[in-house]
Amino acid sequence: MSFEVSSLPAADGFRMPAEFEPQDGVWMAWPERSDNWRFGAKPAQRAFTEVAKAISQTTPVTMVVSSSQYANARRQLPPQIRVVEMTTDDAWLRDTGPTYLVNDLGVRRGVDWQFNAWGGLHYGLYFPWHNDNAVARKVCEIYGDSVYKAPIVMEGGAIHVDGEGTLYTTEECLLSPGRNPGLGKDELEKLLKDYLSIEKVVWLPRGVFQDETTGHVDNLMQVIAPGVVAMTWCDDPADEQYESSQEAYRLLCETTDARGRSLVVHKLPMPGPLYLTEEEASGIDASGGMNREGGARLAGSYANFLITNKQVVFPLLDPAKDEQVAAQLADLFPGYLITGVNAREILLGGGNIHCITQQIPRI
C-alpha cells in the first residue's frame, strides 16, 4: 500500500542510490506527441522499442502507454516488456517518474518532484503538463511504495549521484527562473540534502549547447563509479559547445567529492555537431513551445547513456565516432554488456536514452 510520508527522507535514513547499483526494473513511456516526434511518432516508437529490447537483456522493462496507443505498443513490443496503461503528456520518464530512495533495512520509497515541462509558463516546452506531473505518484502506487512529495520543481535528468554522498547538477538548470524563482544555491542544496541524503553538491555551470531542458546534467556527464565521471568533450574552439565543456572539465578536475576524493574525469567525444534536417522537420507538427525547424542544432551527447545491472545502453549518433565510444565504454565498464542503439529519432525529440528511462533500485 502506497501513502505519502510527511517527514524528510534524510531524517528517515533514506538515500538515493547510484545508477550503477542493482536495479529491479526500468520504466519508459511510449512516444506519440506529433509536435515533438515526426510522422506521428512512428520512427520514435521503433527507436523506443529497440531501447526497451536492449535493456530487457539484463533488467525488466515497463512501458507506460496511453489508452489510444496501448494496442499499437503491445503489438510492437516483445512479450517480455510489461505494458501499463497510463496517461502522459510526453515520453520523458527520467523527468516525470519518481526518484527512488532506499534504506539499510530493505525499504524503498519514491520522491515526487514537481514537474512543469522544464520551465513552466516562463519557457516550458508544452502546456498543460498535469498528466506528466502525476506520473511519479502513479509509479509508486503500482509498486506499493510510499512517497515523499518534494516542494520544488525538479527532474530526474537534472541530477546525478554517486551513492556515497555526492550530487552533480548544473547552475543553468536548477537556478533557472522557470523552475524555482527566489531559491538560491544554499536553499536548494539544503532541500537536496533533505530529500536525497547527499552531503555535497558539485555545481557545473552549463550543460550541452541548445539543450531544451536548460542544461540537464545527464546530457553533459554520467557517474561511472564513486570518484569517476565521464563527460561530453569538445576541443574545437569554434564550436558553441567548447566553452561549456572546457569549464566543466576544469571544475571537475579541481573539485573533490563528498568523501574528499579527487575526481577522475574521462572525456567522451561530442558527436557531430548534429543538426535537424529539413526533411526531418517537415514531419513534425508546429507548436508554440518546441523549436523543430530544419538546420537547428541538436544537443547530441554520448554521455546520455543508461547504466543498468552490469549493462550500459548508449546512443549511436555519429558513424564517425560510435565505435570509438563503444570501445571507451568497454574500457570504463569492464565486464559490462555494452549495447549501442540507433538513437537519432530520440535526439530529434530533445533528449536521449538516459532521458527516456528511469530505474527502480533493487531492495
Q: Quick one: cell of 27?
A: 520504466
Q: Quick one: cell of 193?
A: 540534502
Whole-number Å distance between alpha carbons of 189 and 172 = 15
The count of C-alpha atoms lying within 13 angstroms of the C-alpha of 43, restricted to the half-sphere facing its C-beta, is 16
Q: Please, is 114 exposed, middle or buried when counting C-beta atoms within 10 Å of its C-beta (0-12, 13-18, 19+)?
A: middle
Cα dihedral 101, 232, 325, 38 in deg (nearest 10): 80
Check 140, 173, 234, 355 and give the catalytic one: 355
Annotated catalytic residue 173: no
Per residue, the 3-state secondary structure of the chain, as one string, reads CCCEECCCHHHHCCECCCCCCCEEEEEEECCCCCCCCCHHHHHHHHHHHHHHHHHCCCCCEEEEECHHHHHHHHHHCCCCCEEEECCCCCCCHHHHCCEEEECCCCCEEEEEEECCCCCHHHHCCCCCCHHHHCHHHHHHHHHCCEEEEEEEECCHHHCEECCCCEEEEEHHHHCCCCCCCCCCHHHHHHHHHHHHCCCEEEEECCCCCCCCCCCCHHHCEEEEECCEEEEEECCCCCCCCHHHHHHHHHHHHHCECCCCCECEEEEEECCCCEECCHHHHHCCCCCCCCCCCCCCEECCCCCCCEECCCEEEEEECCCCCHHHHHHHHHHHCCCCEEEEEECHHHHHCCCCCCCCCEEEECC
Residues recognised as catalytic: 355
